């Protein structure tokens, strides 16, 4: 008997599938048209084409430079409220029920802004969008050092907001030894906060293992470098440490090509299918969707083309709810909605 799923294109199917997202940067969701709008607020005239050109594919260093350029137009609470509302609306359109959203508090401090005021404005703006639940990850920038990272950790714990779900560090993972961050993560743990970090994006498997063993990281952002070491993959599987995998991001920043030692790489070389079938805990995310010209729905389509079956992709979608940092009863409520949506699509 035909089901609704049989009548839908892959994009329509994965758009209809209830989803969660665990690795997405608010600032990386700013569309070129919104960059133009933000710039105009601050007396800078830009064309959409100019903003879009900044998002062109390049290497990891070029991506970091583009990220800092985009965020230079975020100068106060009203700007953050605008991008948070538009982000939440994008999640609503994609049927994303829940997201843990990374927020670059380190950049706010670097620009002498008030993170508490920015956070209050963006949280309120996003929460006004119905049907989407967001929690926030306060994020520091690794290459700027341990002292600024501690500053981010302290504001995260001082605010004591129930919507701040975790502490993380992004940026250039090669820019600071892992051991230099041990004190920061010890402090975060002492405050009862969840901990995560970007590792194994451009760095090797040893940085992923250090993140878990030295810092107590509970999830790893990217982690594709573990493809180079079976023992590290087995270590993560045994400990149940999820990798937040972002395929298009890994292509657009050149991270996958770098891991493979090749000038270029495509979706067909991405290790996500092998991670999944090996039993590694993995989730699927868009990372910086506007900057990489993707969406979470697109990521499911790309992963389908990599060879994962629809049933496997439903399991992958379920994992994003399961590996969230929500308390068990909240997680169960969202999983019930997910399972109802899967049933309605005829995928069970």
User: Does residue 305 contact residue 65 with C-beta atoms inside 8 Å?
Assistant: no
- Integer Cα distance of 332 and 243 in angstroms: 21
Which member of 37, 201, 210, 318 is catalytic?
Answer: 201
- Integer Cα distance of 348 and 345 in angstroms: 8
Relative to beta strand 19-25, strand 219-222 is: unpaired
Q: Which residue has the tokens 């699927």?
A: 284
3-state secondary structure of 309: coil
173 is catalytic: no
Phi and psi torsions of 106, nearest 5°: -60, -40
User: Does residue 87 contact residue 34 with C-beta atoms inside 8 Å?
Assistant: no
**Alpha helices by DSSP H, 191-271:** 205-215, 230-239, 247-252, 255-260
Q: In terms of C-beta density within 10 A (0-12 exposed, 13-18 middle, 19 or more buried), how is residue 300 classed? A: buried
Residue 28 DSSP class: G
User: Does residue 150 contact residue 187 with C-beta atoms inside 8 Å?
Assistant: yes
Active site residues: 201
């Amino acid at each position: 008997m035909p089901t609704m799923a049989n009548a839908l294109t892959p994009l329509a199917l994965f758009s209809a599938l209830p989803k969660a997202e665990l690795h997405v940067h608010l600032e990386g969701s700013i569309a070129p048209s919104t960059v133009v709008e933000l710039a105009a607020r601050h007396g800078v005239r830009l064309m959409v084409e100019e903003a879009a050109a900044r998002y062109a594919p390049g290497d990891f260093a070029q991506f970091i430079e583009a990220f800092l350029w985009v965020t230079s137009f975020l100068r106060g609470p009203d700007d953050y409220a605008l991008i948070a509302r538009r982000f939440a609306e994008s999640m609503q359109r994609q049927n994303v029920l829940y997201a843990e959203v990374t927020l670059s508090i380190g950049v706010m401090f670097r620009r002498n802004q008030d993170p508490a005021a920015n956070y209050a404005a963006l949280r309120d703006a996003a929460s006004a969008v119905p049907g989407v639940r967001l929690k926030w990850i306060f994020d520091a920038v690794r290459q700027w050092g341990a002292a600024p990272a501690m500053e981010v950790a302290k504001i995260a714990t001082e605010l004591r907001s129930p919507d701040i779900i975790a502490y993380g560090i992004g940026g250039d993972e090669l820019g600071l030894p892992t051991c230099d961050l041990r004190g920061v993560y010890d402090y975060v743990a002492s405050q009862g906060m969840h901990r995560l970090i970007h590792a194994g994006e451009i760095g090797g498997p040893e940085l992923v293992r250090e993140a878990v063993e030295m810092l107590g990281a509970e999830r790893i952002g990217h982690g594709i470098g573990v493809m180079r070491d079976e023992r590290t993959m087995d270590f993560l599987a045994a400990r149940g440490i999820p990798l937040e995998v972002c395929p298009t991001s890994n292509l657009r920043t050149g991270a996958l090509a770098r891991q493979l030692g090749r000038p270029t790489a495509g979706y067909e070389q991405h290790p996500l299918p092998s991670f999944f079938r090996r039993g590694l805990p993995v989730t699927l995310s868009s990372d910086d969707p506007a900057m990489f010209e993707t969406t979470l729905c697109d990521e499911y389509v790309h992963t389908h083309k990599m060879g994962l079956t629809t049933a496997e992709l439903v399991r992958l979608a379920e994992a994003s709810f399961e590996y969230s940092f929500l308390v068990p009863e909240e997680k169960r409520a969202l999983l019930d909605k997910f399972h109802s949506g899967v049933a309605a699509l005829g995928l069970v």
